[in-house]
Amino acid sequence: MKCLILAAGRGSRLSDKGDSKPLIPLLGLSLIERTILNAKKAGLSDFHVVTGYNGEKVRHFLDEFSRKRNIELTHIINEEWSKGNGLSVLAAKDLLNEKFILLMGDHVFDESILVRLKDERISEHEVILAVDYGIDANTLIDIDDVTKVLVGGDRISDIGKDIKKYNAYDTGIFLCTPAIFGAIEQSAASGDTSLSGGIRILAEKGQVRAFDIRNNFWIDVDDEEALRKARRKLLGGLKKTSDGPISRYLNRPISIRISKYLVRTDISPNFISFLSFILCCIGAFCFYLGGHTYFLLGAILAQAASVIDGCDGEIARLKFRGTEFGAWFDAVLDRYADAFLLFGLTYFVYSPTGNILYLFVGFMAIIGSFMNSYTADKYDGFMKKKLGEKEQFLRMGRDVRMFTIFLSAILDLRFLTLGDKVNLPFLAILFVAIVANTVNVKRMFILYKNG
């Protein structure tokens, strides 16, 4: 399906952030890049972008972007960009003769809106507008600037920024047919060259259908305050429902702060995965060296690696760099890192005494952690189906194992200071072995009961 994106405006309220609004950066990507990649993720593939103000610079940028990302992109030039965004839509009239998605180049939104909208059935005389009924709950919009709509049943009867009676907001996301072009021409003939003017013409005929976005987020990035809100919303969306307790309350808040800065660089998610792996390897080597100082250093490195391990996925999601290889590469390195750390810690507690029990417990910790990761995929999938994609469920995984090692090192230092003799490194391995294998048995039982 074709996608028309309007990126012709000047955006004077964001002039301090850049001289071309579509190119203003937001967490490592320009606004126009984020719009296109969001639409691509939703399944759209053929993009038509209308440019106007500073058009040559924007088009050159988009040419490089489309080449790097392998995106099919057609330029449309609107020389009358200052007269109303309806004319930007009209500039595409000769290129779009079937239904298409219409987006604003400065809107940030949840791609799930498009996933559902693009599959809606539509008659040849209709336009479907995605609307937000959360007029009291949405804190991301500027009430004085947002376009408001009045919906009755499933039909829009009025639209505009200044209408007094309304029950939803216009999100700037449309499923259109060529009927939109005639409506804009009719509206322009009477002096209104805005897109809303064309929609109003169709609404008077009962030909504009409302599509509920169901509380999914969207924001019109029209000024610096909206840019800050969009940044906070995107960063907040990096939290995962499958995060374990340590990830959710400790690691993720730290990793998101790190990713906020790393996303501005060219560092790849795979490099971050490898960096986390190297930190684990150094930590494991510290365990092998023995001594409480090296034990503490190794544990700190392991916990640091656990935090950094969240950054690869965060940057991949923020910059649309996620790949099947990247996920597989990260998972493989994590398994090797877990094995090295637990083996190093087992050697640390075994070597001074030669107690065979320590080897057995270490083996159970290693095999338990491996099976913990192996069973997680199917279990997470089941829990998402059971609770819903956005519902949280408690997961005991790698984050807990890493933090257990880190905590044992901190407490071990405390006990040494007090002169007490408690084998906390062994207790850490024992805890990992018990928790990991108990979780595995629990998962098997739950899946068996529901399978």
Of residues 321, 323, 273, 328, the one with CA closest to residue 68: 321
Of residues 90, 102, 48, the one with CA closest to residue 184: 90
225 with 244, same domain: the answer is no
Question: Domain boundary residue among 233, 267, 282?
Answer: 233
* pTM attached to this predicted model: 0.89
At 391 the pLDDT is 47
| HEC letters along 233-250 | HHHHCCCCCCCCHHHHHH
207 with 334, same domain: the answer is no
344 with 217, same domain: the answer is no
Question: Domain boundary residue among 214, 233, 252?
Answer: 233
293 with 195, same domain: the answer is no
308 with 188, same domain: the answer is no
Contact by Cβ (8 Å): 117, 134: no
At 208 the pLDDT is 97
Q: What domain range includes position 374?
A: 238-450
220 with 248, same domain: the answer is no
Averages of pLDDT over each 10 residues, the chain, 451 residues: 95 82 95 97 96 96 96 96 94 95 96 96 96 93 93 95 95 97 96 96 97 95 94 93 88 96 96 98 96 94 97 97 95 95 96 94 94 76 60 68 93 63 87 91 82 63
| Rounded to 5°, angle at Cα 327 from 214 and 303 | 100
Total domains in the fold of the chain: 2
At 90 the pLDDT is 97
Question: Domain boundary residue among 200, 233, 266?
Answer: 233
At 429 the pLDDT is 95
Amino acid at position 53, single letter: Y
151 with 9, same domain: the answer is yes
At 387 the pLDDT is 53
Instruction: Dig out the tokens for 426 from the structure.
Output: 């062994």
247 with 226, same domain: the answer is no
At 244 the pLDDT is 84
